[in-house]
């Protein structure tokens, strides 16, 4: 295996793990029960008549 191929495979693997970890972190933040009121309040901002 050439150096380029092994380096490209390593970079792809690390990139995949990074993006999976970021997705799981963002999903956990979005579905965390403590943040429910914050997101519900933000969802109603366009409907307010202030």
| pTM summary value | 0.70
- Residue 2 exposure: Cα atoms within 13 Å on the Cβ side: 3
Q: Given this model, what pLDDT does residue 1 score?
A: 63
pLDDT tens, position by position, 1-50: 689 999 999 999 999 999 999 999 999 999 999 999 999 999 999 999 87
> Token pair for residue 3?
């150096």
Q: Cα(13)–Cα(5) distance, rounded to whole angstroms?
A: 12
């Amino acid at each position: 295996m050439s150096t380029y191929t092994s380096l490209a495979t390593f970079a792809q693997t690390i990139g995949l793990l990074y993006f999976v970890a970021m997705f799981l972190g963002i999903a956990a933040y979005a579905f965390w029960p403590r943040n429910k009121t914050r997101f519900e309040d933000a969802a109603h901002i366009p409907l307010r008549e202030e």
